[in-house]
């Protein structure tokens, strides 16, 4: 058991029958009344965000999370399949546990977070950005590069993103895995 003074960003805890990670927190000591901790929590099982206030006397159940490296293999009717880089064990993960499954590329390394005590898969974390090739987009018009206009494009994983007008088919682009947004063109 931990207390509210142990709350910090990234702390994983069990609360109201779910496992949550602390995104933001603020210790508040008002002039009158007892101190409390304002938090923004994210569910590790479904991704839901919740604001909650804990009184200073509250006890929280801290959960130990293990991070294991896996390599993405393929998708089938069971879900997305990954291979452990250490013991070559394969696991299948349901699409709802993955924040941006459309940005997974074969051979990509990811971190799978496990509940250490129960050996239960909680979620999957990708790198902050991925580099992918544009497989289809309409050709850009010459001279239209000065405006901040975007057009749709399909990348090699099948995801649709919005790119600037100067991006062409075959170009490599860096994509933010949190938002799915175009970041920059990558030179080959």
Quote the pTM value: 0.75
Instruction: State the pLDDT confidence band at 55, using cuts at 50, 70 and 90.
Output: very high
**Which pLDDT tens digit goes with each residue over 123-153?**
888 999 999 999 999 887 666 556 678 889 9
101: helix, strand or coil: helix
Cα–Cα distance, 124 to 110 (Å, whole number) = 7
Give the contacts of 75 (CB within 8 A, at least 6 positions apart).
81, 101, 104
**Which pLDDT tens digit goes with each residue over 7-18?**
999 889 999 988
Q: Where are the alpha helices (DSSP H) in the chain?
A: none
Cα–Cα distance, 146 to 164 (Å, whole number) = 10
**Which pLDDT tens digit goes with each residue over 56-76?**
888 999 999 899 999 999 999
Question: Pick the residue with more confidence: 165 or 53?
Answer: 53
Cα–Cα distance, 151 to 87 (Å, whole number) = 43
């Amino acid at each position: 058991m931990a207390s509210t003074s142990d709350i910090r960003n990234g702390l994983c805890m069990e609360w109201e029958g779910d496992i949550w990670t602390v995104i933001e927190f603020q210790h508040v000591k008002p002039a009158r009344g007892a101190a409390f901790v304002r938090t923004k929590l994210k569910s590790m099982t479904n991704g839901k965000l919740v604001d909650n206030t804990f009184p200073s006397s509250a006890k929280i159940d801290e959960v130990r999370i293990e991070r294991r490296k896996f390599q993405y293999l393929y998708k089938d009717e069971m879900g997305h399949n990954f291979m452990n880089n250490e013991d070559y064990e394969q696991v299948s993960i349901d699409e709802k546990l993955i924040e941006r499954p459309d940005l997974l590329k074969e051979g990509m390394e990811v971190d799978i977070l496990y509940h250490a005590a129960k050996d239960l898969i909680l979620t999957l974390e990708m790198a902050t950005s991925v580099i992918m090739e544009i497989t289809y987009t309409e050709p850009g018009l010459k001279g239209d590069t000065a405006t901040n206009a975007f057009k749709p494009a399909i990348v090699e994983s099948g995801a649709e993103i919005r790119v600037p007008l100067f991006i062409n088919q075959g170009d490599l682009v860096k994509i933010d895995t949190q938002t799915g947004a175009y970041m920059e063109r990558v030179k080959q």
